[in-house]
């Protein structure tokens, strides 16, 4: 299930990048390919009503795999996830966000690895990455501790959405991480159906019709085993400043045109350095 209905997010999945094979590909198409590598072939996408045709067009030959689920009111992330309750039913589900691109550092895809770990551990697992404090405004973060004998797996105790550095230092410090670094969400989760019960209860209690996804995840951690997997790949939030640029460079350097792109980047750096020296001398 992919969330893509937020006003600041809904146009990002239709943007075009050049993939590792050198072909033009939409952000949505790249996300779908990531999901398919995890051996999942039915995909629900939470959309703003009216965006369905544009998404189906950029999905290309994968359009038939998609089921569009409208979020007709801008009631936030938690509500968007809850919109998929009938789609996921009483089964665990893979959840990705529509503004992230993933580049794996291994043969397996990032989502594929996450699904395998969640299946082996038989519980909810969120992908995380060690992230500098300066990036906290862009990501949710978790606190917890490393599981004995299981490198890269952490038992989650606390979840906070885009925490301030002060809050992170107080509640999200993870033993073993360097100072100023935190476990921030990777943009993909395998979640048990229990998360829908929690979101439903939040929405029922809320007078505004909204619910907090991060607080729902914190409650999930209190109710059942909930782990974090440190991903070896990289995630790129294309909705941030230079996010699309960073994603494009990463895709290019991981693809067949790597050396051509490296040469172009070196030329640009050399030209920029030369221009800077000329301005300084002038």
pLDDT at 277: 63
Q: What is the pLDDT of residue 280?
A: 62
pLDDT digits (tens, 9 = 90+) for 71-91: 999 899 999 999 999 999 999
Quick one: average pLDDT of 232-248? Answer: 93
Whether 282 has a pLDDT exceeding 80, the answer reads no
pLDDT (0 to 100) of residue 281: 59
Contact 189, 127 (CB under 8 A): yes
Give the per-residue pLDDT at 235: 93
Q: b/e per residue, 96-110, with b = 16+ CB within 10 A?
A: bbbbbbbbbeeebbb
Residue 205 predicted with pLDDT over 70? yes
d(CA 213, CA 215): 6
Q: What pLDDT shows up at residue 208?
A: 75
**Does pLDDT of 275 surpass 70?**
no
Q: What is the mean pLDDT of residues 249-268?
A: 93
Domain span at residue 10 reads 2-281
Cβ-based neighbours of 45, under 8 Å, separated by 6 or more = 1, 2, 4, 28, 55, 66, 67, 68, 69, 98
pLDDT surpasses 70 at 132: yes
CA dihedral in degrees (188, 118, 109, 85; nearest 10)?
-40
**96 touches 35 (CB < 8 A):** yes
- Give the pLDDT band of residue 276 (cuts 50, 70, 90): low
Domain of 76: which CATH number? Answer: 3.90.550.10
Is 206's pLDDT higher than 90? no
Mean pLDDT value of segment 42-49? 96
pLDDT in tens, 212-237: 999 999 999 999 999 999 998 999 99
Give me the number of domains the chain comprises: 1
Opening angle at CA 64, ends 63 and 70, nearest 5: 70
């Amino acid at each position: 299930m992919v969330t893509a209905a937020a006003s600041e997010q809904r146009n990002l999945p239709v943007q075009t990048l050049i993939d590792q094979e050198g072909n033009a590909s939409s952000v949505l198409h790249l996300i779908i390919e990531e999901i398919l590598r995890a051996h999942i072939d039915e995909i629900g996408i939470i959309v703003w009503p009216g965006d369905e045709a544009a998404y189906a067009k950029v999905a290309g030959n994968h359009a038939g795999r998609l089921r569009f689920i409208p979020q007709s009111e801008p009631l936030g992330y938690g509500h968007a996830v809850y919109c998929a309750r009938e789609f996921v039913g009483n089964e665990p589900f893979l959840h990705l966000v529509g503004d992230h691109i993933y580049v794996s550092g291994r043969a397996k895809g990032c989502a594929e690895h996450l699904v395998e770990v969640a299946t082996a551990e038989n519980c909810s697992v969120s992908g995380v990455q060690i992230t500098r404090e300066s990036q906290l405004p862009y990501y949710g973060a978790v606190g917890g501790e490393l599981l004995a004998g299981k490198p890269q797996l952490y038992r989650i105790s606390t979840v906070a959405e885009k925490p301030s550095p002060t809050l992170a230092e107080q509640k999200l410090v993870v033993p073993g991480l360097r100072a100023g670094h935190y476990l921030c969400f990777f943009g993909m989760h395998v979640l048990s159906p229990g998360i829908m019960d929690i979101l439903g209860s939040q929405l029922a209690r809320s007078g505004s019709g909204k619910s907090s996804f991060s607080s729902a995840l914190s409650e999930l951690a209190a109710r059942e085993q909930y782990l974090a997997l440190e991903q070896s790949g990289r995630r790129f939030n294309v909705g941030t400043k230079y996010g699309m640029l960073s994603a494009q460079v990463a895709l290019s350097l991981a693809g067949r045109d790597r050396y051509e792109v490296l040469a172009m980047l070196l030329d640009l750096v050399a030209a920029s350095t030369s221009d800077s020296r000329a301005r300084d001398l002038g």
